[in-house]
Every structure is written in C-alpha cells, then in structure tokens.
Amino acid sequence: MPRPAEPGRAEPQAGFVHTFLPGRVVFGAGSLDQVAGEVESLGVRRALVVATRSARDAADVVEVQLGDRFAGRIDGVTQHVPTAVAEHARAKAHELDADGVIAIGGGSAIGLAKAVALTSEVAIVAVPTTYAGSEMTPVWGETSGGSKTTGTDLRVLPRVVVYDPVLSQHLPKKVTAASVANAIAHCVEAVWTPKADPITEVTAVEGLRALATGLRRTLAEPLDLDARSNLLYGACLAGSALATAGTGLHHKLCHLLGGTYNLPHAETHAAVLPQVARINAPAVPPSKARLEAALGTTDLAAGLFDLFTEAEVPTSLKELGLTEDQAREAAKAFKPTDNPIPVTEDLVREILTRAWAGTRP
Ligand code: NAD
C-alpha cells in the first residue's frame, strides 16, 4: 500500500530521471566585485558588457574592473529580444572578437546575451538585477514579426551567475512584485510538468518559501538587504526548477497570451497562475501540501492570489488590456499539452474566463 505523503518530503519511489546542469553561482552582497575575477577564471580575453539602462552604474564598475579584458559595451536592451536587436548584438560581438558576454540586468539583458551565445562560442557571465530566473536556464527566446520563438541549448546557459542583492535594492516595487510573480510561477508549475521530479520539487518548494518570505518583507521594507537576498536566492532556485522541469500548462498559456496579444510578461503570470493552480494543484495533493506550507497558506490558489493582490500586481487579464473576446479566442487557439488533468477547450476557457475577470479562487 502506498505510504501517505508527508509534507516536506519528496517521494522518489516511482523512480525518476534528473539532469543536473553545469554552472557556478556566486552569491552575496558586494559580489559584483567578483565579476572580473570570474571572467578571468573562465579564460575570457575579450568581454562584451550588455547592461540594462538602470544597471549602468554597475556596468561602469565592471568595465573598470575588467581592465584589458573589457572589449565593448551595449547599454539598453529591449524586452523579448527582437531579432533586429539580437542581430546587432551578434554583429558587435563578432566585430569586437568577444569570447565572453557579461549580462547585467533582468531577463531582457540576459536574453540578449543568450542570443549572442546561440550563434557564437561566447561564455556568459550573468549578473541578474530582477527575479525572473532566466540566468539559471538554457532556454533562449527571440521575437520576430510579433511571434516569439524559444528553444533550449546548453550553449546559452550562463557559465557563472553572480547574485548581488545590492543591485536589486532599488528595483521599483511594481517591477519587483511582477518579477517575483514570474519566479513563483516557475516554482509552482515545476511540481506538475511532465519532467517534474523529486529533486526539482525540493528546489521549487524552497524557492517558493524564499520568494514569498522575501516579497512580504520587501513590501514592508523595500531597502532591506536580507529580504532582497531572499528574493534573489528564491529567483536562483526558481530558475533552476524551470530549467529542469520545463514548462507546462501555465507557462504555455502565458506564452500564447504574451506572444499573441503583447501582454506584459511578468504580470501575465500573476493573473494566470492562481487560476491554473486552482485546477491543477488538487491533482497533485502531496506537492500541493508542500507548496502551501512554503507559502504559509491552506489553499495554494487563493494564497497566490492574495499574495499578488497584497503586492499590488494585477490579478486580472482585463487590467492588462486583454478583451473578453481575446480571452475566448485564446482558449480556442490553445493547443493541448501534457498535464495532470486533461486539457480541454472548456477547461482552458474556464481558466481564462476567471483570469480575465480576476476572480479569487
Ligand atoms: P526586464 O529584464 O525587461 O526588466 C524589467 C524592468 O526592470 C525593465 O524596465 C528594466 O529596465 C528594469 N530593471 C532591471 N533591473 C533594474 C534595477 N536593478 N533597478 C531598476 N530597474 C531595473 O524583465 P524581467 O522580468 O527581468 O525578464 C523578462 C524577460 O525575461 C522576458 O522576455 C521573458 O521572456 C524572459 N525570461 C526568460 C526566461 C528563460 O529561462 N529564458 C525565464 C524568465 C524570463
């Protein structure tokens, strides 16, 4: 007879396959100063620095510390890596003979570094300043003609990730909350994707705990460095979970909505996740219990909705500009995917109707 599930423990009895990804994490306040040493250890001779505008000061520091290894710089990035922007970055890396790219910023800066690494032999050093988690994954994305192509390739996985909580200390509340919602979505979905396994689940559950704790503390005290550390630690775990568990119903729905209707990436996660959790979580009871304990709630879907509401992240697609007709259209267009319960058009319509209206689960 199967043993009842114990919250806090993963169950390996069924057997599983888990692939550990290579990569090094350097974590701590002030660790920006270690970037140049890490670049040297990788043997990079000519580094291209790619920095989001708000990380310009950090890029200045790195540029000076790199000394002779500094090859050039791209300031300013665009969300979702438009192909024209990617082409420009690749040409610049080629022209500079760069063998390394240092990305300082959120998922957009890291995404641009990945676009370069996809077509040339460059090592990426990522210095994340948001909580999206892209730095821990081998997933790349590029947008062209309004549609986004994504893929997985180990060449784009950053070789070193330097997490310095000081860099995200002044991240505005709105961006903080939305990117935390994005990271939380990686943790929650990681327990029910077809590739989910006990090792990923431990990572995801601890990631959710760190993110929820960090978010609550950051809302009360935005400059609290310990809270910011919790958020970055959570982002690291969330990205690792996404990297091994891959995506499922939730991420695929967000991808469709973001790509087709140009909705903001992180906020879309906050509106959709509670509704997908309402449907999926009851199908994976032990995982649901562990995630609930990590979030500090007795109802995962409602707990997520309440946390996002408290953080003032929009919890309805209506607020993000989607029309009711578009929500219906998206439900029709969605292609079924592997899921703990079968994905029918009716089920997707139910999720999107509630996500559109922002109905509390
Ligand atoms: P982002 O990189 O666009 O940053 C969001 C905003 O925050 C921007 O306006 C940026 O200028 C600002 N910002 C960044 N750092 C700041 C700082 N320290 N202080 C003040 N402002 C700052 O968005 P994001 O949410 O980090 O990433 C979203 C992108 O990442 C999307 O394109 C998404 O598809 C991608 N993503 C990819 C993966 C993956 O595994 N490939 C995972 C998650 C997200």
Share of the chain above pLDDT 70, in %: 97
pLDDT reported for residue 10? 56
Give the pLDDT score at 9: 46
For residues 132 and 194, membership in a common domain is answered with no
**3 Cα: distance to centroid of ligand 1 (angstroms):** 42
Does one domain contain both 198 and 128?
no
Amino acid at site 33: D
Ligand 1 centre from 284 Cα, in Å?
31
3-class DSSP state of 360: coil
Q: Based on the domain organization, do 347 and 207 belong to the same domain?
A: yes
**Atom number of ligand 1 nearest to Cα 141:** 41
Q: What is the span of the domain harbouring residue 73?
A: 24-168
Task: Note whether 302 and 194 are same-domain residues.
Answer: yes
How distant, in Å, are the alpha carbons of 46, 81, 111, 241, 278 from that of 201?
A: 38, 30, 25, 7, 19
Helices (H) and strands (E) in the chain, counts: 13, 8
Residue 6 has pLDDT above 90, yes or no: no
Give the tens place of pLDDT for each residue, 24-73. Answer: 999 999 999 999 999 999 999 999 999 999 999 999 999 999 999 999 99
Strand 139-144 and strand 147-152: pairing?
A: antiparallel
As a whole number of angstroms, the distance between CA 213 and CA 232 comes to 12
What's this model's pTM, rounded to 2 decimal places? 0.96
Of 163, 265, 273, the one to substitute when testing ligand 1's pocket (max ligand atoms within 8 A of C-beta) is 265
Query: 75-103 pLDDT, tens per residue?
Result: 989 988 999 999 999 999 999 999 999 99
**Per-residue pLDDT at 5 exceeds 50:** no
Assess whether pLDDT exceeds 60 at residue 346.
yes
pLDDT in tens, 145-177: 877 889 999 999 999 999 999 999 999 999 999
Q: Which of 168, 201, 223 is the last residue of a domain?
A: 168
Q: Number of structural domains, the chain?
A: 2
Whether residues 139 and 205 fall in one domain: no
Q: Report, as an integer, the average pLDDT of 241-263.
A: 94
Question: Is 74 part of a structural domain of the chain?
Answer: yes
